């Protein structure tokens, strides 16, 4: 079932939005097969496939082209997600790519290395094998993870391509630079306006890519 909703952004009347499209679907047999093959979902995960939604949204890539991405989230946040990406599209926020984590064998490391924006993945919290991540519930999104790295308590970043983004500033006007998320950026505020919290606000560990809906 495809579900269309009324987007809440006030910018929908502009010509820009003639290119913005989205749809929300139940998990189709084809998508289910991709998830099972990659083990991004399996029996025993904390959320059933019936409670997940497969979403296509448009975004601007790093070549300033409008392309379609795919993401899986919990049904309770599906409307949020299409509205958030509509607002991100309206401000021209760039996204490197947006593919299912199943395309990377459900391997979070490989997805990050590809600078892939993703959401659902049935996996535990990093470093805590007995606790499910919010990604396992489909209520967390990691956006442009290379430009917005996870930084541990000691200031270490695992992905080498992210080292140059440890200092959180906008340096030059390039797509990668504009993808960097800072506290007062419009993109960060868009997520927060829908009630999502940001890992960049955490006190010790910083997870600049990470937005979660409680």
Lowest mean pLDDT among 93-102, 120-129, 199-208: 120-129
Q: Looking at per-residue confidence, does 5 or 149 come out higher?
A: 149
What token pair was written down for 172? 């030059």
Read off the pLDDT band of 209 (50, 70, 90): very high
Give the SS3 label for residue 171. coil
CA–CA gap between residue 180 and residue 12 (Å, rounded): 25
Q: Which residues contact 210 (CB under 8 A, 6 or more apart)?
A: 140, 141, 142, 150, 198, 199, 200
When divided into structural domains, the chain yields a total of 1
In this predicted structure, the answer to whether residue 178 has a pLDDT above a threshold of 80 is yes
At residue 18, the pLDDT reads: 59
pTM of the model: 0.90
Helical segments of the chain, H only:
29-38, 78-90, 108-113, 175-179, 186-193
Is residue 125 situated within a structural domain? yes
Is residue 121 situated within a structural domain? yes
For residues 95-107, give the mean pLDDT: 98
At residue 3, the pLDDT reads: 45
In this predicted structure, the answer to whether residue 10 has a pLDDT above a threshold of 60 is no
Is residue 112 situated within a structural domain? yes
DSSP state of 135: G
pLDDT digit string, tens, across residues 126-158: 777 789 999 999 999 999 999 999 999 999 999
CA–CA gap between residue 72 and residue 27 (Å, rounded): 9
Distance of CA 111 to the CA centre of its chain: 11
CA–CA gap between residue 147 and residue 166 (Å, rounded): 9
At residue 5, the pLDDT reads: 44
Is residue 57 situated within a structural domain? yes
Question: Which H or E element spans position 128?
Answer: strand 128-132
At residue 11, the pLDDT reads: 39
Give me the domain span that covers residue 65: 10-212
Burial call 5-31: b when 16+ CB within 10 Å, e when fewer? eebebeeeeeeebeebebebebbeeeb
CA–CA gap between residue 191 and residue 213 (Å, rounded): 9
In this predicted structure, the answer to whether residue 9 has a pLDDT above a threshold of 50 is no
pLDDT digit string, tens, across residues 57-93: 999 999 999 999 999 999 999 999 999 999 999 999 9
Q: Is the dihedral of CA 175, 180, 181, 184 positive or negative?
A: negative
At residue 172, the pLDDT reads: 87
């Amino acid at each position: 079932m495809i579900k269309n909703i009324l987007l809440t952004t006030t910018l929908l009347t502009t010509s820009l939005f003639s290119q913005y499209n989205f749809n929300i679907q139940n998990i189709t047999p084809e998508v289910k097969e991709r998830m099972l093959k990659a083990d991004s979902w399996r029996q025993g995960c904390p959320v059933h496939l019936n409670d997940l939604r497969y979403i296509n949204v448009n975004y601007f890539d790093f070549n300033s082209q409008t392309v379609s991405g795919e993401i899986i989230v919990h049904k309770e946040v599906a409307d949020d997600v299409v509205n958030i990406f509509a607002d991100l599209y309206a401000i021209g926020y760039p996204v490197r790519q947006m593919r299912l984590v199943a395309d990377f064998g459900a391997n979070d490391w490989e997805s990050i290395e590809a600078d892939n924006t993703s959401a659902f993945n049935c996996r535990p919290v990093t470093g805590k094998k007995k606790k499910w991540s919010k990604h396992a519930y489909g209520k967390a999104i990691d956006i442009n993870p290379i430009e917005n790295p996870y930084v541990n308590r000691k200031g270490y970043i695992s992905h080498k391509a992210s080292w140059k983004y440890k200092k959180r500033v906008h340096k030059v006007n390039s797509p990668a630079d504009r993808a960097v998320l800072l506290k007062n950026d419009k993109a960060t505020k868009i997520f927060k306006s829908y009630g999502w919290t940001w890992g960049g606000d955490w006190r010790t560990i910083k997870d600049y890519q990470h937005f979660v809906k409680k």
